[in-house]
Structure 1
Amino acid sequence: MAVLSVREKLAILSDAAKYDASCASSGSAKRDSLRSGGIGSTEGSGICHSYAPDGRCISLLKILLTNFCIYDCSYCINRSSSNVRRARFSVDEVVKLTMDFYRRNYIEGLFLSSGVMRSPDETMGEMVEVARRLRIEEKFGGYIHLKTIPEASAELIGKAGLYADRLSINVELPTDEGVKKLAPEKKPETIRLSMAKLRRKIEEKGEPTLQSRRRERFAPGGQSTQMIV
């Protein structure tokens, strides 16, 4: 497989992320000053608009960590049997992209999702490491939304909540029958259990502790989901 540049990866993995409804675009008409000799563009790869927990409309770098996936869900463009161009970011590349875009005032945060490569824990572990590096090493104070993987360990999802402002888990489809038919490798009960555990964790951390009388920081923006109808 040919070695891709970061720019090529960004084009592939931002386009692959557009199917996630957790970010809404601004609806602006496409304009690119490169063709006219002016300044500015509305077509930058990976930038979308969403709403922060406090109601502000913010610009996010919206990308997948990878569009490689071990699952073969019929409705997903990135399913294992799909003939799409594949790419994968390293943790270093996502951290650098986020900080570079942030310093240039292109974005105010990161929305990170991913296909599942090799195993849910390996993929979730890399996503958590991106968020950890941004918060701890880069002192990044912007918004972070992580799309979590239901099959990942509770420990990893717990770590994700320490660094992310919002977490989300896809419920996939309206009915269990639909999931079994179109995404047979996924288990609806696992998805529901993971969402319930996350809700309980958010509620638990939202209560002031006896020692400090302060709430612990854990996914303060809560959790969200989406389904295909």
Structure 2
Amino acid sequence: MELQRKLFILADAAKYDASCASSGSQGRDSLDGKGMGSVTGMGICHSYAPDGRCISLLKILLTNVCIFDCRYCINRKSSNVQRARFTVAEVVQLTLDFYRRNCIEGLFLSSGIIRSSDYTMEQLVEVARRLREEHDFRGYIHLKTIPDAAPELLAQAGRHADRLSINVELPTASGLAQFAPEKDGQRIRQAMQGVDRHVQAWRAATREQRQAQSLPGAPAQRAA
């Protein structure tokens, strides 16, 4: 499948994934040659950086293939949608290409679950790792973590991403049992707690570092 076709499918599939993005606009475009600009429901989303800036993100799924059959999800196993899957290298290159063209300031990446939670999370982490370590990418990265993924994979994701999030799926145990019986609410909560523990540990380490640097005789930080 051509890369452009994959991008069309997996950007459209990602529009249902919560990304802390602005929303509410009606879909408008100028594909008919009339007018200028567009407000589309896929591909580029807008989110907010910690400093309050509104930034544009490439919002895509790694794949819309999924081993689960959650009744509320358009990408469920039994859904009659066209499937596609990016390679890690393709996501990295797309992000760099869009960034160099000044179309985006970062990446939002989620995925259907393929093979296993750990395998899928490994693929997401590898995208972020290559961007940071091999291409010195300093833009914004938001990774959607996968429930049941190993804690060490979440820790690796946190080293490379600016933001991690996880889907609550459904607010009640009865709703989850009815619409997504293959998923375990307790495991989802544990995954969310795991992400929170990593965040709190990072904040504590940051506070300790700042306190140590403020002590008399501590070496001064060099200006960036």
Which residue of structure 1 lines up, in the alignment, with residue 29 of structure 2? 31
* CA distance, structure 2, for counterparts of residue 200 and residue 151 of structure 1: 15
Residue 52 of structure 1 deviates from its aligned partner by 1.4
RMSD, matched Cα? 2.1
* CA distance, structure 2, for counterparts of residue 169 and residue 21 of structure 1: 9
SS at match of 1:60: strand
What is the one-letter code of the residue matched to 1:31?
D
- 1:213 maps onto 2:216 in alignment: no
Q: Alignment length, in residue pairs? A: 210
- Residue 16 of structure 1 contacts residue 67 of structure 1 at CA under 8 Å; is this kept in 2? yes
- 1:20 maps onto 2:24 in alignment: no
* CA distance, structure 1, for counterparts of residue 40 and residue 79 of structure 2: 26
Report 1:181-192 matches (<5 A).
181-192=178-189
Report 1:51-62 matches (<5 A).
51-62=48-59
Report 1:49-88 matches (<5 A).
49-88=46-85
* CA distance, structure 1, for counterparts of residue 51 and residue 206 of structure 2: 24
Which residue of structure 2 lines up, in the alignment, with residue 162 of structure 1? 159
Which residue of structure 1 lines up, in the alignment, with residue 221 of structure 2? none
Which residue of structure 1 lines up, in the alignment, with residue 105 of structure 2? 108
- Residue 172 of structure 1 contacts residue 179 of structure 1 at CA under 8 Å; is this kept in 2? yes
> What 5-or-longer segments of structure 1 have no aligned partner?
216-229
* CA distance, structure 1, for counterparts of residue 56 and residue 66 of structure 2: 27
Residue 39 of structure 1 deviates from its aligned partner by 6.9
Which residue of structure 2 lines up, in the alignment, with residue 173 of structure 1? 170
- Residue 64 of structure 2 contacts residue 84 of structure 2 at CA under 8 Å; is this kept in 1? yes
* CA distance, structure 2, for counterparts of residue 194 and residue 44 of structure 1: 29
> What 5-or-longer segments of structure 2 have no aligned partner?
212-224
Which residue of structure 1 lines up, in the alignment, with residue 194 of structure 2? 197
SS at match of 1:179: helix
Shift in alpha-carbon separation, 1:180–1:62, aligned structure 2, 3 A: same
Q: Return the index of the structure with the highest Cα Rg.
A: 2
Which residue of structure 2 lines up, in the alignment, with residue 223 of structure 1? none
Residue 26 of structure 1 deviates from its aligned partner by 7.2
What is the percent sequence identity of the aligned residues?
A: 61
Considering fraction of residues, name the structure with more helix: 2
After the TM superposition, which segments of 4 or more aligned residues of structure 1 sit over 3 Å from their partners?
A: 38-45
Output the TM-score relative to the length of structure 1: 0.85
* CA distance, structure 1, for counterparts of residue 174 and residue 125 of structure 2: 32
Q: 1:129 aligns with which of 126, 133, 141?
A: 126
Shift in alpha-carbon separation, 1:29–1:195, aligned structure 2, 3 A: closer
SS at match of 1:125: helix
- Residue 144 of structure 1 contacts residue 165 of structure 1 at CA under 8 Å; is this kept in 2? yes
